[in-house]
Amino acid sequence: MWVRSLILSLTLLLGFSAQAEEVDGNPYRLMSYVAEQTFSRLAKIDREADDAQQQLEAIVRQQLMPHIDYRYAAFVVLGKHIKKTSKQQREDFAEAFQEYLVSTYTQALGQYKQQQVVIEPERAVGEQTKLGVRAQFIDGERPPINLEFKFRKLKNKDANSAEHWLAYDLIAEGVSLLSTKQSEMDSLIRANGIDGVIQILRDKNLATQE
């Protein structure tokens, strides 16, 4: 159980604040910035405060989700089932999946205990549109965990704006979180249909907010 919780908490490193705009054109610099900024803000939260949970959720919504490619991730999770969905169903699923990530990441944030992330040296990006940035998650009580954060490059809608990178997956010790979620959703969709799964996600999201 602790491994699953730990992996979930690591995904929080994939987000960054609006102040990171000057580094979002390079995934390596972005990762370094994220590690510093995210953990710095987390360390300032009083976990015993009445509004600690709200503060954690605010970090997720304000700094993380705007810069996670949740729509792409949601469509990957749908896998082969996406061919049988309508445009509205895809939009509803992406929205529910986004809120599911907010709830998941908010819970994971609460488990941060000042661990350390060591990121690999910067490499030439070249013309790549997808790449992985390797890192190690160091917890003094356990052996280091090998990670690889997956990014994809997107063009901004504004032709005058530079291209930017968004995070969409995390591979921990060879296990892809996106692939794991795809397997889970495949079983749920087979049993409940796409509309049923959308409702399941919505119910989970509401339950975590109560």
CATH number at residue 72: 3.10.450.710
User: Coil, strand, or helix at residue 169?
Assistant: strand
Confidence class of residue 8 from pLDDT cuts 50, 70 and 90? Answer: very low
| Widest pairwise Cα distance in the chain | 49
Q: What is the pTM of this model?
A: 0.79
What was the pLDDT predicted at 198? 97
CA 142 to chain CA mean position, Å: 23
Quote the number of domains for the chain.
1
Domain ranges, residue 126: 2-209
The sign of the CA dihedral 190, 193, 196, 201 is: positive
- Burial level of 157, CB count in 10 A (0-12/13-18/19+)? exposed
From CA 51, how far away is CA 188, in angstroms rounded? 34
* pLDDT beyond 70 at 146: yes
